[in-house]
Amino acid sequence: MAEKEVWITGVGLLSSLGEGLDAHWQALGEKRVNADDKRLAPYVIHPIAPVSFDAQIPKKGDQRQMETWQRIGTYAAGLALDSAGVKGNQEILSRMDMIIAAGGGERDLNVDLAIMNADAQGKLPPALLNEKLMNELRPTLFLAQLSNLLAGNIAIVHGVCGTSRTFMGEEASSIDAARIAVARIGAGQSDIALVGAAHNGDRGDLLMLYSFGDFALKDQYAPVWARRNHPGFAIGSAGAFLVMESREHAEARGAKPYARLTKVVADLAKRKQPGAVTKSLQTMWPQLGVSNDKAVLITGATGAEPATAEEREFLGQHPGLAVRATGTTFGHTMEAQFPLGLALAALSISRGALYPANDPTGLEVEKTDAPTQIVVLGVGHWQGEGMALVEAVK
């Protein structure tokens, strides 16, 4: 049986640059970057742009039940549903599939720090940990942290109620979310799906994990390709959501596509071997079916090493590509890395243009003609790689 064509019919974006497609298109055109090296100095982060969540999360009670990452995600999911023209359409929403890529939510840093300080000063006998946690953790905080509760909130606020699956595992989780959604729609197991992720970079607690491995960018912001001697990723903030559906389903309801999502492939390179990432990307590339050697490639390259150097090696073998690194503009949005790339690819295809390069090193080159094929690339800072081909609908 022939695989069904998958269209991207809705795109929702909220990031450090602002909200909505027009705002993003304008900001990208102006090469705007919203980086902050003071808030969590010496760490560089990209905080979410000021936003009133009321527009997509009307009930304050719902907002109170969420932490920022969930608000960002629920908001961006609402934008995507709006953009697909299915917001409030009960008939469609009740059978819409959802695949979310998620990490965990914000911890209560004050509680954590108080406990850790007490312990460091010898004032925390083991029994006291329970008491502090019992007395000081907010009961609802758990729900704001649980990975699958971003999906839960989207179901509650927007009524997306077909199926709900949450994938975890940093960058790779979002590649797999897109891969499984496309596979299901392609095989007729699903007609329409909401796929996306949210990330809040303004979190000291989150930096812990990445500090262990010295992955976080410190001291000074620089575009991703200019970090060779000062590697690291600046944690970014974004909610990126896509509505994907079969061409038949979209046409039957008169929906217009932003682009076609032709293929998503993923891999788990054995990174203990140097060069494994480059090799993995080389192996995946022919599976995409890129026919245009002047295609565009939007990468989520993090700036962390050695992954970025290995990716650069791969890109060096495709000199005709017009490359754009989302990390320069948005920082590293972790689970949102791949849907952000897909969103920007769909946006560029639909606007018939690629936004300007933002790269002092010259790796990114300008492209003046309308892009028809855009490869989205995601390489995890530690594990997992994947690619997608986004094309203009014929």
- Compare residues 211 and 361 and give the one whose CB is closer to other proteins: 211
Regarding 189 and contact with other proteins (CB under 8 A), the answer is: yes
Q: Which of 83, 166, 333, 337 touches other proteins by CB under 8 A?
A: 166
- Compare residues 173 and 299 and give the one whose CB is closer to other proteins: 173
Beta bridge partners of 199: 238
Distance in Å, CB of 195 to other proteins, minimum: 14
Residue 197 is encoded by which pair of tokens? 């992720």
Q: Which of 213, 274, 289, 352 touches other proteins by CB under 8 A?
A: 213
Q: Which of 209, 252, 365, 370 touches other proteins by CB under 8 A?
A: 209
Q: Which of 196, 300, 371, 384 touches other proteins by CB under 8 A?
A: 384
Q: Closest Cα partner for 42 from 190, 177, 189, 214?
A: 214
Which residues, numbered 249-268, are part of the site for other proteins (CB under 8 A)?
266-268
Regarding 2 and contact with other proteins (CB under 8 A), the answer is: no
| Contact track, other proteins, 292-311, x by CB under 8 A | --------------------
* Binding-residue total with other proteins (CB under 8 A): 88
Regarding 184 and contact with other proteins (CB under 8 A), the answer is: yes
Regarding 197 and contact with other proteins (CB under 8 A), the answer is: no
Dist CA 76 CA 240 (whole Å): 6
Beta carbons of 309 and 276 less than 8 angstroms apart: no
Dist CA 48 CA 18 (whole Å): 8
Distance in Å, CB of 149 to other proteins, minimum: 5
Dist CA 78 CA 61 (whole Å): 17
Q: Which of 168, 276, 353, 392 touches other proteins by CB under 8 A?
A: 168
Distance in Å, CB of 334 to other proteins, minimum: 10
**Residue 285: half-sphere exposure toward Cβ, Cα within 13 Å:** 18
Q: Residue 42: is the preceding peptide bond cis (ω within 30°)? A: yes
Regarding 165 and contact with other proteins (CB under 8 A), the answer is: yes
Other C-beta atoms closer than 10 Å to the C-beta of 365 total 13
Dist CA 145 CA 262 (whole Å): 34
Distance in Å, CB of 71 to other proteins, minimum: 14
Q: For 307-327, give one letter per residue: b (16+ CB within 10 A) or e.
A: bbebbbbbbeebeebbbbbbb
Q: How far is CA 281 from CA 262, 285, 385, in A?
A: 18, 6, 8
Q: Phi and psi dihedrals of 45, rounded to 5?
A: -135, 165
Q: Which of 33, 207, 309, 392 touches other proteins by CB under 8 A?
A: 207
Among 9-17, 21-29, 78-86, 205-213, the segment contacting other proteins (CB under 8 A): 205-213
- Compare residues 40 and 259 and give the one whose CB is closer to other proteins: 40
Regarding 196 and contact with other proteins (CB under 8 A), the answer is: no
Among 81-89, 180-188, 220-228, 319-327, the segment contacting other proteins (CB under 8 A): 180-188
What burial class does residue 136 get, using C-beta atoms within 10 Å of its C-beta: 0-12 exposed, 13-18 middle, 19+ buried? middle
How far, in whole angstroms, is CA 356 from its chain's centroid?
21
Q: Which of 4, 24, 87, 179 touches other proteins by CB under 8 A?
A: 179
- Compare residues 214 and 293 and give the one whose CB is closer to other proteins: 214
The three-class DSSP label of residue 391 is strand
Q: Phi and psi dihedrals of 5, rounded to 5?
A: -75, 135
| Contact track, other proteins, 24-43, x by CB under 8 A | ----------------xxxx
Which residues, numbered 98-157, are part of the site for other proteins (CB under 8 A)?
98, 102-104, 107, 109, 112-113, 115-117, 119-121, 124, 126-131, 133-135, 137-139, 141-143, 145-149, 151-153, 155-156
Regarding 287 and contact with other proteins (CB under 8 A), the answer is: no
Which residues, numbered 52-91, are part of the site for other proteins (CB under 8 A)?
65
The three-class DSSP label of residue 307 is helix
Q: Which of 7, 53, 69, 167 touches other proteins by CB under 8 A?
A: 167
Other C-beta atoms closer than 10 Å to the C-beta of 110 total 9
Distance in Å, CB of 173 to other proteins, minimum: 7
DSSP string of 179-192, one letter each residue: HHHHHHHHTTS-SE
